[in-house]
Chains A and B, each alone.
Chain A
Amino acid sequence: MSATENPMRDEIQNAISSHEVILFMKGRPEQPMCGFSARTVAALDALGASYAAVDILPDPRIRQELSAISNWPTIPQLFVNGELVGGCDIVTEMYETGELASTLGIEPKADAPEEAPVASEPGAPPLQIRNDLAS
């Protein structure tokens, strides 16, 4: 597919190719909008990983095109060296086995907890609605 036919897909593909570690998520790392995205960010941050992040919420086409590229239906999605590593479950599992640090090619911080850090309260609905009216 040429660049003119699907610029959104090309742009996402380009973002994946040009960043060693890139996370597609709901919200931003400093303000995740979903428990699964929050948990994935927490695992990366606990290892002291540096990564690019893309918020998929502003335009539904981002998620649509991303899932078409990755053959993965849910968000978040973590890519390392252009390859899909997984979503929240796999990232969390890999954190606990130590595979996440080795996949990222980093030494975990000395104070990194053994179990993947929990970012949201257990049982809390993963979807959080942001109240933009409050200021």
Chain B
Amino acid sequence: MPSTDDLKLRIEAAIPGSSAAVTDLTGTGDHFRATVVAPEFAELSRIEQHRRVYAVFGADIGGPIHALSLVTKAEA
């Protein structure tokens, strides 16, 4: 079961210069919310920003991670 720290570290490792705050929405280790700040988002549409974060997890979304609610920003 993924933890909020696992998600945070995976996002921050995959997206250069990013910082992520992750919460477990249900306390069950499968529904998460992440707020991700990354400089590269300045160049991307909202859809592309979310795709970028979803891509970090690949098939884990819909697998062990049932839901990942996202807020993405270029700067904090």
Contacts and interface: CB of A to CB of B under 8 A. Distances in A.
A71 B51 contact: yes
Nearest to A99: B46
Nearest to B46: A90
Interface in A74-90: 74, 84-90
A105 interface: no
Interface size bracket, B side: 10 to 19
Interface size bracket, A side: 10 to 19
A87 B31 contact: no
Contacts, number: 42
A84 B46 CA distance: 11
A52 interface: no
Interface of A: 36, 63, 71-74, 84-90, 93, 123, 125-127
Given A71-B51, A74-B61, A90-B50, A127 B69 contact: no
Interface string B28-61: 1001000000000000001100110010000001
B31 A73 contact: no
A84 B47 contact: yes
Contacts of A87: 50
